[in-house]
Structure 1
């Protein structure tokens, strides 16, 4: 049973809104990013429930495509993934005292990022681990000095990694600074492999790939840099069922605040979709549905109005939303990441 589907008295209850997810496009995006990384292995960030698509479906399709390295944010996500990914799984947020029993019991590796986490893992008898080093982002990670101080001596480090702060700006001077800083740390800290590049970092070229890349956004149809625009395929298409089609006379308003007035006698479709589903109010003026049909008025919690005067639409029809991530991000001020991970649980997720 997919997310947003349930049971009532034994019968499956369907949702009036869905995400159509293109599994072929997901796999193709992974292969494209893997090829751009040259000889480096290509993993996948599947945190936030596979960027909102559903980690189970994502991992199954990426595994079939050849992906063997998966990254989640915390141990709850790792527990949900264990049965799905028999390959390599790493927890990016490290290990707390509360996580140690789970971490020591399974094959999932913590990504250690503080001296306290290193001590906790060592004192607890932990085995293979990954380590995050900060090279200029000033988020998670040991400093370069800490990493080279002997703090990590004796640890079985599978992957030493860092994270680029400005990879989506290819000309930003911090990119080569971080690359060179990471090279210096890698020369001083033994590990089985080294990893720096996310989706945007992959697009910076082979100097950033090292041994393992960790794409996220680009897998799911996000376009990390302008150079990727013709390479990445769209994965997610939201669709909603039409509840009602109504006739609106010229000059009459639609929706909260009466922000849209009909310029002519119009037909307006009302669909099961709104900001409770992640289609936030700021997206309203830029939303287009199948055939270019525009959203009108304000997006409300559960409903969006669409001008279907020029379309053949009736109650019970399904209308697909044009979910081009770069264009919607530019129009709304939201990031492509927010648009993806904000898609709500009321959508039925269907792999097509």
Structure 2
């Protein structure tokens, strides 16, 4: 039994997937890397497959091997093993490796039976072969089934660099009109057809966090993270709470101890500034967050009792707002929830 849980709303997940399919001009896949952004890659992929998803993107070969028995669609591996044997193994499992460098491309050219996706770097300066270095003749020697690029600033729709990247990518795709393309992440897909490609690949937007930094969140809440109340005690005025006594109660207070700490993914930086919720009532964190538990003040919530569940984020407290308070963002919050967090699919 766990004292912290994540409730995943599968209907909301399906609604978000439909949001992307309604906006896209082509196929819509799903990025399910990092254990489905912390939600559980296998149940998430199964739910999305039931909605018609037939293309899944993971980060590593172990992630692909874990997912492969559970989905029938194509699995793309963003960061496959670097050597020739690793590329062959990725292909042997029925997955498609994404080639990110000239060295990998050279190996792929020697194995024309292996289907690959080619990552074209149009300005992200992370992985991918720089668009200026793409050799059309060299590509013809490899079995390229997908050309993809990654938008650096799609979360800001008005950023002119989005168009710059599309123009750079077009100089490559124009040479290979028969090869499918993939451009749009969550924000890119919602920014319009020119930022999507033939295969869009939303990630964070599927899971309810805001894919934009400058716009309201268009997606439905998928995840509610909750912790159980282990104990409630009356604290006298002047008492220090938690390690270091960093919070001194100014008056008699009612303090609840919840079974959720930094080992579970609750950032310690939220000590004395974060909040939980019970219904619509906000409950401030008091004192340092510990490894396995946290103290919250519930003086204004007399109905709360031991065994109840309080919300860390969900429908009352927005995930992105909590993340902002912790100087983080939704991606890190979801993927940072630990193994002890029970995943429930409702």
Range into which the TM-score falls when normalised by the shorter chain? over 0.9
Are residue 128 (structure 1) and residue 128 (structure 2) matched? no
Are residue 64 (structure 1) and residue 50 (structure 2) matched? yes
Q: CA deviation at 1:314?
A: 2.1
Are residue 302 (structure 1) and residue 292 (structure 2) matched? yes
User: For the Cα contact (< 8 Å) 1:156–1:191, is it kept in 2?
Assistant: no
- Tell me what 1:326 maps to: 320
Are residue 164 (structure 1) and residue 164 (structure 2) matched? no
- Tell me what 2:276 maps to: 288
Q: CA deviation at 1:191?
A: 4.5
Distance 1:196 1:104, change over 3 A: closer
User: For the Cα contact (< 8 Å) 2:255–2:295, is it kept in 1?
Assistant: yes
Q: Name which of 67, 81, 92 aligns with 2:78.
A: 92
- Tell me what 2:333 maps to: 339
User: For the Cα contact (< 8 Å) 1:250–1:262, is it kept in 2?
Assistant: yes
Q: How many residues align?
A: 338
Q: Secondary structure at the match of 1:296?
A: coil
Q: Name which of 63, 66, 75 aligns with 1:80.
A: 66
In 1, distance between residues paired with 2:306 and 2:107? Answer: 59
Instruction: Give 5+ residue unaligned stretches, structure 1.
Output: 1-13
User: For the Cα contact (< 8 Å) 1:253–1:259, is it kept in 2?
Assistant: yes
Q: Secondary structure at the match of 2:138?
A: coil
Q: CA deviation at 1:31?
A: 0.9
In 1, distance between residues paired with 2:179 and 2:287? Answer: 56
Q: Deviations over 1:126-155 (max 9, x none)?
A: 422111000000111112233234221133
In 2, distance between residues paired with 1:107 and 1:326? Answer: 36
In 2, distance between residues paired with 1:185 and 1:50? Answer: 31
Are residue 54 (structure 1) and residue 45 (structure 2) matched? no
Q: Deviations over 1:217-254 (max 9, x none)?
A: 10111101167635211111111221111110122221
Q: Name which of 204, 208, 230 aligns with 1:217.
A: 204
Q: TM-score, normalised by structure 2?
A: 0.93
Distance 1:191 1:75, change over 3 A: farther
User: For the Cα contact (< 8 Å) 2:38–2:335, is it kept in 1?
Assistant: yes
User: For the Cα contact (< 8 Å) 2:80–2:86, is it kept in 1?
Assistant: no
Are residue 151 (structure 1) and residue 145 (structure 2) matched? no
In angstroms, what is the RMSD of aligned CA positions?
1.7
User: For the Cα contact (< 8 Å) 1:162–1:195, is it kept in 2?
Assistant: yes
In 2, distance between residues paired with 1:202 and 1:219? Answer: 12
Distance 1:156 1:125, change over 3 A: closer
In 1, distance between residues paired with 2:67 and 2:235? Answer: 50
In 2, distance between residues paired with 1:126 and 1:258? Answer: 64
Q: CA deviation at 1:30?
A: 1.1
In 1, distance between residues paired with 2:88 and 2:125? Answer: 29
- Tell me what 1:269 maps to: 256
In 2, distance between residues paired with 1:295 and 1:191? Answer: 56
Q: TM-score, normalised by structure 1?
A: 0.91
Q: Secondary structure at the match of 1:302?
A: coil
Are residue 138 (structure 1) and residue 132 (structure 2) matched? no
User: For the Cα contact (< 8 Å) 2:209–2:320, is it kept in 1?
Assistant: yes
User: For the Cα contact (< 8 Å) 1:148–1:189, is it kept in 2?
Assistant: no
Q: Secondary structure at the match of 2:129?
A: coil
Q: Name which of 13, 19, 22 aligns with 1:35.
A: 22
Instruction: Give 5+ residue unaligned stretches, structure 2.
Output: none
Q: Deviations over 1:112-137 (max 9, x none)?
A: 11121122223234422111000000
